[in-house]
Amino acid sequence: MAEQWLKPPIELRYGEELAALCATDTGQKPENWKLSPKAVRTFILGGTVTQPNGKHITISRKFYGNDALVERSIITLAGNRGLMLVGEPGTAKTMLSELLSAAICGTSTNTVQGTAGTTEDMIKYSWNYALLLSKGPCREALVPAPLLVGMEQGIFARFEEITRTPAEIQDSLISVMSDKILNIPELGDDGFVFAKSGFNIIGTANTRDKGVNEMSGALKRRFNFETVEPIRDVKLEKAIIIREAQDMADAGHIDRPVDEDVAELLAVTYHELREGITAEGTMIERPAAVMSTAEAVSVYFQTFSHAWYYGDGQMDLRILTENLLGAICKESRDDLEKLKGYFHTAVKEKQAKEGGIWKAYYEAGAFLK
């Protein structure tokens, strides 16, 4: 069943790894955690576990770039503060939040998606109005939202894009995070819900949205913040593009290995445009668009799919350039000029020096309009 899903939840996607870790986990666990902090670390950062029968199982690395950040996040969640992951779009904040939830609580789907239209009902609870009218306010008529579910089951409530929600809605979390109690006044004396051990909140916030709905100081005090940075290592970025594209290809039944040279080309392009300087030291203009690894993976896979469905399977650098254009030139016309500038300086320099695929890439850049 899960195989047919476009994006199965982490706990299903990595079910075997979680089961292996659970079976071999001998570490101390905080109350209600499925795995010990050490096993959670291994689940996210990779490693090997040895089963009682002596068989070794490799746990894949799922988050790259900052191991200490993952460790801090795990320890934060074991304490009484929430975890707030902030950073540029496409830096895998949501993925990390899902991984932590899946490993610690066994589920990553207890989630609120923050938007300008998010209300307190969507966070805490709402009512089944038919039952409410027929039976009055009672537990049966209550429809629990992720916060209430998390408190009752002792699992994490994930709050995505928290800063897109209005400030007064964000602040409704304060009392719950402080007192670990949710009061449902309509239920009278039975209306107090005490959070079970293991409950916590993982929030994510996009730094590009900073200032849209700035978090209050009171709410900030209840979270430990972790800033997730973009990947700064080209080799690592290339490896991620290859791995993610291969996963997507497998899911889409595209039976063709990914082209590592093109992945490197794209990793270098994204890295240099993000940093504003080429490996050769040439200063270039940074586009206003988000230059995340996730975007690079998307551009790569679009080109890969195009080659599979319309071409001979070989990736066409002209199509790659067009996809790159679509990914970068979203917000401002200026970004087109910056991309052209990149081709006219950095790519030109590389094609003269290295030739090969860079030459073809430079020629494809002539079609940028």
Interface residue with another protein among 215, 239, 291, 297 (CB under 8 A) is 215
| Interaction of residue 87 with another protein, rule CB under 8 A | yes
Pick the piece of the chain touching another protein (CB under 8 A) from 97-105, 216-224, 345-353, 359-367.
Answer: 216-224
Q: Which of residues 171-200 bind another protein (CB under 8 A)?
A: none
Q: Is 367 helix (H, G, I), strand (E, B) or coil?
A: helix
91 vs 305 by CB, closer to another protein: 91
Q: Measured between alpha carbons, how far is 101 from 107 in angstroms, rounded to an integer?
A: 6
| Interaction of residue 225 with another protein, rule CB under 8 A | yes
Pick the piece of the chain touching another protein (CB under 8 A) from 14-22, 68-76, 97-105, 357-365.
Answer: 68-76
| Interaction of residue 75 with another protein, rule CB under 8 A | yes
Per DSSP, helices labelled H in 180-259 are 217-220, 234-251
Return the structure tokens found at 120.
């307190």
Letter for the amino acid at 303?
A: T
79 vs 257 by CB, closer to another protein: 79
Pick the piece of the chain touching another protein (CB under 8 A) from 63-71, 105-113, 184-192, 337-345.
Answer: 63-71
The helix (run of H) or strand (run of E) holding residue 105 is: helix 93-105
Q: Which of residues 26-55 bind another protein (CB under 8 A)?
A: 37-38, 41, 45
| Interaction of residue 6 with another protein, rule CB under 8 A | no
User: Cβ contacts of residue 42 below 8 Å, gap of 6+?
Assistant: 21, 49, 59
| Interaction of residue 348 with another protein, rule CB under 8 A | no
Task: Tell me the residue length of the chain.
Answer: 369
Q: Measured between alpha carbons, how far is 157 from 98 in angstroms, rounded to an integer?
A: 10
Contact present, 294 and 64 (Cβ < 8 Å): no
| Interaction of residue 224 with another protein, rule CB under 8 A | yes
| Interaction of residue 82 with another protein, rule CB under 8 A | no
* Listed residue (185, 117, 101, 103) closest to 149, CA to CA: 101
Contact characters 226-255, another protein, x per CB under 8 A: xx----------------------------
Calculate the CA 75 to chain-centre distance: 19
- Compute φ and ψ for 159, nearest 5 degrees: -120, 105
Interface residue with another protein among 10, 49, 78, 145 (CB under 8 A) is 78
Calculate the CA 195 to chain-centre distance: 26
The contact set with another protein (CB under 8 A) reads 37-38, 41, 45, 67-68, 71-72, 74-76, 78-79, 81, 86-87, 207, 210, 215, 217, 220-221, 224-227
